[in-house]
Structure 1
Amino acid sequence: MKRKRTFELKSALHPYSILLMLTVTMMILALVSLGLGAIYISPLDILQNFLGNGMQSQAFILHNYRIPRILIAVIVGAGLATAGAILQGVLRNPLASPDVIGVTKGAGLAAVAVIVLFPQSPIIILPLSAFVGAAVMAAILMIFVYKKGAQPNTIALVGIALGAICQAGIEYFMVKFPDDVNTTLLWLTGSLWGRGWDQVFILLPFLVLVPVLIALTSKMDVLSLGDDIATGLGERSKLLRYILLSVSVILIGVCVAAVGSIGFIGLIAPHIARRLVGSKFKVLLPASALFGSIFLLVADSLGRGLFPPIEIPAGIITAVIGVPYFLYLLRRERKIT
């Protein structure tokens, strides 16, 4: 007899109390992260700079480098985690995430192709190409998702295979265009180094997806019950599934274009959020977004603060944490199924 799947851990706190605590935690981490780097800036100096009484050199560093970097970490972390929560809900697969199912690698291959083949292209071309790459991978994966008898482990393995194919394409470009290897490697590891207001302005327009997701939360709860039940309740399950997948692909493509391939945020954040606030998307999506922001803020802060002035890309930090967690989930799924 199969054991019943259980992804939730009952919490004594109200879900909205947890959301408030996560918001406060994220704000504290953002303040701490503003001071970290090759030049340390104390919280008091940060406050004085915000009030206009700080040193000019510190104000320059904060306003031109660290503030946009913090904003990027918050938005990208939230975007990847939200995309992961959507994928896990739509596919009804706890192992689904942007990087595990190969969507991130597809976006990465397309973006690398633009970087090495069209280095002088307008900045808007990069997120567009990343979106196209993510969409192609998502479409290929959907062919396997709708095959009868597709199991969570099968979908994860298909995604890994697709990711390996994209990785081979990325390595081909690196060998073919050795002069761009350094830029490509930095981008592929996933780093917020060198990111500024240009990337913030790329990300901001896509915040319009937030009200769209809020409007769809109740429908996502119905869809998670299964296509037959959703159809019986009057929902157009296939159309809704394609809409949600399109939203997740857009989020993945834009986030990858902004900071590169940062993995495992879309896998870990929704799982932790689900254990604390439950599976209702009304609270699951914001909790996942907050956990994703916190995760990326911590990873970026550790990368900047461990060995200054040497900086460890945030993608390496998230991988060190994410790989063991993924193996744990894979083992648990085998026991359940």
Structure 2
Amino acid sequence: MKKQTIKPLYTKQSRPILAAVILFGGFVILVLAIGISILYGAANIDFFTIWQSINNFDPNSTSHQIIRGLRIPRALAAALIGASLAMSGALMQGMTRNPLASPSIMGVTAGSTFMMAVALVVMPEASNFIMMLWAFSGAGIGVAIVFVIGSLSKTGLTPVKLALAGTAVTALLSSLSSAITIRFNVAKDLSFWYAGGVSGVQWIHVQLLAPVALIGFVIALFLANSITVLNLGEDLAKGLGQRTIIIKLLGILVVLLLTGAAVSVSGTIGFIGLVIPHITRFLIGVDYRWIVPCSAVLGALLLVIADTVSRMVNPPFETPVGTITALVGVPFFLYLARREGRTM
């Protein structure tokens, strides 16, 4: 049966213009969304107070402390985490040619959470930086197990086998994480990472996230053209003289950096890395020179909006932001799985 594809909303001539519109327009909307995120919360604070806290901070004002110490770093962290997860998903889908690939499905986030559970047992007083390193190592372990299991069959790796292996490894690592938390009584400490969210973010988390996200973004842009060619087929990429192994290793390194940093701060937030790259490709095509930056902007926008909505569902209590993203991502994942199943 002929493979079904979604035609992007562009022509070859209009693609750069549309991508520029998405980048500029998305960034403007992102700034507005961050402003709304800072404005909205359990405490009623007006726009003038926010402006005063930024330009004329009063350390004796509770409202100023809430804005500067809680809401601003929370909104910025949500943008950085959303951008990191979206870029990770775009790179994974491009390198593996698997439309179902994403950090949450391919065992990356589950591996990070598993190693953070281990870290809470072995090093309960570890700093934020040390926890981030544990998350990096867990992301690497998760992705390595998925690729090894997916390669065991005689026919080698296929998109469907990668998705199945990723689902199995995610379930396994999540179960092991739960067992560790129950056995060593650290369930309360790890519950934040299970739920997923940015409610407890402080400036130290933003300071750790920002350089990692910037480094990952720069490397991803450097690899973008090569991944565009690699996405057309590994044999074609090799025929054009590309060193596919080096490209994949660098791409995996970027995914581990971005996902490890994001999970160490926010916990498990699924489906951003799955949904956003597909939306971006639908809008602008398959050129990763545009997909990477556009995915970053749209991913940041999605998580900032989701975090704001999570505070509106049941005020003054907060709904886990992972629940909000799952409401969008699960139907989209089922649609993709059904579409890919028809083309097997």
Q: Provide the TM-score with structure 2 as the length reference.
A: 0.92
Equivalent residue number for residue 143 of structure 1: 148
State the Cα RMSD in Å: 1.9
Residue 84 of structure 1 corresponds to 89
Larger deviation, residues 254-263 vs 217-226: 217-226
- Residue pair 1:107, 1:131 contacting (<8 A) in 2 also: yes
* 1:154 Cα deviation from its structure 2 partner: 2.1
2:128 counterpart SS class: coil
Q: Label 1:329 to 1:9 Cα distance change in 2 as closer, same or farther (>3 A).
A: farther
Which deviations, in whole Å up to 9, do the C-alpha atoms of 1:143-163 show, x marking residues without a partner?
345563533222111101000
Shift in Å, 1:119: 0.9
Letter of the aligned partner of 1:252 in structure 2? T
Alignment of 1:1-337 (within 5 A): 1-6=1-6, 8-10=8-10, 14-52=18-56, 56-146=61-151, 148-178=155-185, 180-206=186-212, 207-337=214-344
Task: Measure how far apart 1:311 and its partner are.
Answer: 1.2
Q: What amino acid is the match of 1:37?
A: G
Flag as ranges the 4+ runs of structure 1 deviating above 4 A.
144-147
Contact 1:144 1:150 in 2 (8 A): no
What per-residue deviation string (whole Å, max 9, x for no partner) do you get for residues 188-236 of structure 1? 1111111101111211221223222222211111211211111111111
Which one is further off, 140-149 or 16-25? 140-149
CA distance in 2, matches of 1:154, 1:297: 33
Q: Which moved more, 1:2-11 or 1:104-113?
A: 2-11
Supply the distance in 1 between the matched residues of 2:156 and 2:200 (Cα, whole angstroms). 45
When the two structures are aligned, how many residues end up with a matched partner?
A: 336
Q: Secondary structure at the match of 1:124?
A: helix
Alignment check: 8 A CA contact 1:263 1:319 kept? yes
Change (3 A) 1:28 1:234: same
Give the C-alpha shift of residue 50 in structure 1.
2.7
C-alpha distance in structure 1 between counterparts of 2:250 and 2:149, whole Å: 18
Moved more, 308-317 or 46-55: 46-55
Task: Tell me how far apart the structure 2 counterparts of residues 122 and 24 of structure 1 sit (CA, whole Å).
Answer: 35
Deviates more, 1:255-264 or 1:112-121: 112-121
Partners of 2:25 and 2:309 lie apart in 1 by 22
Contact 2:147 2:162 (8 Å CA) reproduced:
no
Q: Partners in 1 of 2:182 and 2:265 — Cα distance?
A: 24
Change (3 A) 1:224 1:305: same
Unaligned ranges ≥5, structure 2: none
Task: Find the aligned partners of 1:8 and 1:238 in 2 and give their Cα distance.
Answer: 29
> Secondary structure of the equivalent of 1:119?
coil
8 Å contact from structure 2 (residues 49, 64) kept in 1 = no
> What is the alpha-carbon distance in structure 2 between the residues aligned to residue 237 and residue 73 of structure 1?
33
Distance 1:190 1:242 in 2: 28
8 Å CA contact 2:311, 2:319 repeated in 1:
yes
Q: Distance in 2 between matches of 1:183 and 1:317?
A: 22
**Per-residue deviation at 1:138?**
1.2
Paired with 2:197 and 2:342, the residues of 1 have a C-alpha distance of 36
Instruction: Using the TM superposition, give the Cα deviation of residue 102 of structure 1 relative to its aligned residue in structure 2, in angstroms.
Output: 1.2
2:216 and 2:257 in contact (8 A); partners too: no
Q: Give the aligned residue type for 2:33.
A: L
